[in-house]
Every structure is written in structure tokens, then in C-alpha cells.
Amino acid sequence: MSSPTRTVLITGCSDSSLGSALALALHANGSFRVFATARSTSHMAALSSAGISTFALDVTSPNSIASLVKEISSLTSGSLSMLINTTGGGHYQPFLHLDLEKAKQLFDVNVWGYVAVTQAFLPLLLAHAEPGPGKRKSVLVNNTSISSVLRTPFHSAYSASKAAMAMFNDIQRIELAPLGIKVVDLKTGSTESGFQENKSNPCDLPADSPYQPIKEDVLKVVRGEVTGAYEEDREAWAKNVMNDLLKDVDNPPEQIWRGGAAGIISATSKIGAVLPDSWTDGSFRSLGGLDKLEKLREEQAKGS
């Protein structure tokens, strides 16, 4: 079999992650030479065993990013066909109890990490791209997730980070199009992966929190139990995403919706965009038990 003529760098590829599954799928496909990253190469044993080149990368460290650019550039003669940003973390709390330091750290990974890596690798993407219709393109993929369009209670910091990255993605798509770079917003739904391990410490409500009466509802949302029934196997997700990207590798779709409930959210988000927020807020309140809390507080007020 001939050597792949295209190259792809994927961030966030720790074992059991979505990035890892996508790296394995693209490697098996044979169309790309795959470069995978995680904070430590020891976290990518499965990829190393499969023969995929792995590299350590801390997306919040300029020195780490610069070092990786030099390594990849030396291996590809200064060119890169595709960059897929999937690195991510989570922090979940009621807004009232949000840890601002952890929230800032989350944005450093989910937003500024994506931005920093993309800026650093743009020269390599530009080297591969050929501006003009019908010409060879480079591809940038940002995993913004369906959380970028959802108002899930107790997810304010995480959803805000994903929404921020989604806006970066949209403007990148417009600005980079004349330079021969296609930009894809990957809206990932609920998917079986090791992402839960990357969340900050589980939500621990203060004893005097007004949300104590619905603590179990809060924890179910924080642990992702309310969406677990819709989880898609990560290997299936990776195969679907790969097929979406490679159907027309030089002209991929602007958005890819894959994962549990992604199709439903895609449709409802379009409908919700033309409806008053008050029409959809109720479903989110019930999701987190906030409708129950409202009734409890009303009853307490009547009894006082």
C-alpha cells in the first residue's frame, strides 16, 4: 500500500477519548498520516501500539505548542493537510457556586488552547492549501459539541466555553476561506468516552445552598446521567465523523452533527432560534429539577 499523501494532527488523544478513536479510524483508513497528541505520550498506549506517531502537548503552554510545531514541520516538510482540535475539559456547578479559577482554566483549554494551537499551525496549513475553486484545500476542525447551543443548567462555564469556540469557528471559516482553508464545526453529542475523567471534582453543594432540596437532580445533570441513554459508541462516532470529512476531503461540510441526540439537537436548535426563549426554558428547568425547586419555594413562602 502506498504511503498517505495527506497529514492530520489531532489534539486530545488520550486513550478512551474521542480524539483517540478518530485517530485510530483515520489511521486505519490509510488516507492520512496521523499525528496524535495528549498531555503525556504515556496516555496514548493504544495509538502507539497501532503505529500512530504520538506527541506530548499542553495546549495551554506556548513552549509546548512551539516545540510540537517544529517536530511536525520537520516530519512533513512544513506542511499539514488537516488539524482537528478535540482537547477538552469540563467544570460543572450551579452558577451561584461557580469556581472562577477553575472556570478560567477551562476557558484556557476549551477556547484559548484551540486558538493558540490553530494560530501556531496555520503556516503549515497554508503551505498545503491552494486557494481557488477546485483546488486542494486544508481543513481545520473544531470540536465545539452540542453544548455550544444548549442551555443545560449547571453547565454554564462549559457551555459558555463551547459557545465561545463555536463563534471563533464561524469567524475562522469566513476569514480563512480566501486562504484555501476549510473550517468545520464538529457538534458532538453524547458519546461514550473518557471525557468524564477530565471533569473537575464532582459538584459539591455548600450546606446552605438554595439548591440543596434538588441536590440529586443537580448531581444527575453534572454526572451526565440525564443524557446517558443517548450515548453513542465512540468508535461508531469516529467512523461517522471520518466519513463526513472524507466524502469530499477538499470541501467538507461546514458543520458535522454526530453523537447521541446530535441530530435531534440540530433540528430543535433551528426551531428554537425562532421561538421565544420562554418557550424552551421550561424544558431546561425540568431537566435540572429547577421546576421542582420553584414549587418547593412557593410552598415554603405560603407556609411562612
Instruction: Kindly state the average pLDDT of the residues 248-272.
Output: 89
Catalytic residue among 92, 114, 137, 158: 158
- Strands lying side by side in the sheet with 181-188: 53-56, 32-38, 6-10, 82-85, 138-143, 181-188, 255-258
Secondary structure class of 151 (helix, strand, coil): coil
> What digits encode the pLDDT tens for the residues 92-133?
999 999 999 999 999 999 999 999 999 999 999 999 999 788
pTM value > 0.85 = yes
- DSSP per residue, 188-231: E-BB-SSGGGGB-SPP---TT-TTGGGHHHHHHHHTTTTTGGGP
**What top-level class would CATH report for the domain 6-210+228-276?**
alpha beta
C-alpha closest to that of 296 among 221, 210, 233, 186: 210
Single-letter amino acid, residue 115: V
DSSP-assigned beta bridge partners for residue 190: 260
What's the pLDDT at 196?
A: 52
Cβ neighbours of residue 18 under 8 Å, at least 6 residues apart?
12, 86, 143, 188, 191, 193, 195, 234, 237, 238
162 assigned to active site: yes
Instruction: Kindly state the average pLDDT of the residues 175-199.
Output: 84
**What's the pLDDT band for 5 if we cut at 50, 70, 90?**
confident
| Dist CA 200 CA 11 (whole Å) | 20
What's the pLDDT at 117?
A: 99
Instruction: Decide if 258 contacts 189 (C-beta within 8 A).
Output: yes
Instruction: Decide if 9 contacts 57 (C-beta within 8 A).
Output: no
> What digits encode the pLDDT tens for the residues 135-163?
999 999 999 999 999 999 999 999 999 99
Catalytic residue among 137, 162, 182, 239: 162
- Nine cell digits for residue 75: 516530519
Single-letter amino acid, residue 183: V
- DSSP per residue, 100-148: HHHHHHHHIIIIIIHHHHHHHHHHHHHHH---STTS--EEEEEE--GGG
Q: Can you give the C-alpha Rg of the chain in angstroms?
A: 21
102 assigned to active site: no
Instruction: Decide if 23 contacts 17 (C-beta within 8 A).
Output: no
* DSSP code at position 149: G
